[in-house]
Amino acid sequence: MVEQSCGKGKSAVKARKLLSLFHYSAGQYEEALAVLRDLRAIAPDDIESLENTGVILRLMGRLQDAIAVLEEVHQIDPSRVNVCDALAHSYANLKDRENCQKFGRLSLERKDEEASRKVPLRDLSGETPSPFQLGGKKTNVISLSLWGAKPR
């Protein structure tokens, strides 16, 4: 059935990804896994389908299976934030504090790296903020640094 709905050729991989996403979004995890298994057969090097398999297994409560798949993805590409998140959650559910902290920390580090690359940061340490204006909702900004003694 998947073969008929997705066809063959270059567009087949994209079509299968979309179909698995549809099933995932509808909470049809078994169906999503079936499509992802089919996708892996035609595109065995597609890391995204392997990652999605791990995430869905975690959502299904199949934590040991999820961890095995997600660890495989992490070995291939340790920069994938979603994988670190899913591993941290999986280990937390298994009460494995050490691995939960390891992957939770990695996730936060990867997110920080991503954020640092996307937006050029401006050093405001030498600037005085404008005075607070009552009724000036668009001009009043209250902020704080979550970076403590390591401003960026």
pLDDT in tens, 38-96: 999 999 999 999 999 999 999 999 999 999 999 999 999 999 999 999 999 999 999 99
Cβ–Cβ contacts within 10 Å for residue 18, how many? 12
Contact between residue 25 and residue 32 where contact means Cβ atoms under 8 Å apart: no
Question: Residue 135: which pLDDT band, with cuts at 50, 70 and 90?
Answer: confident
The rounded percent of the chain whose pLDDT value lies above 90 is 64
Q: Which residues contact 138 (CB under 8 A, 6 or more apart)?
A: none
Q: What is the distance of C-alpha 3 from the center of its chain?
A: 28
SS3 per residue for the chain: CHHHHHCCCHHHHHHHHHHHHHHHHCCCHHHHHHHHHHHHHHCCCCHHHHHHHHHHHHHCCCHHHHHHHHHHHHHHCCCCHHHHHHHHHHHHHCCCHHHHHHHHHHHHHHHHHHHHHHCCCCCCCCCCCCCCCCCCCCCCCCCCCCCCCCCC
Cβ–Cβ contacts within 10 Å for residue 14, how many? 11
Question: Residue 1: which pLDDT band, with cuts at 50, 70 and 90?
Answer: very low
Supply the pTM of this predicted model: 0.71
CA-atom Rg of the chain in angstroms:
21
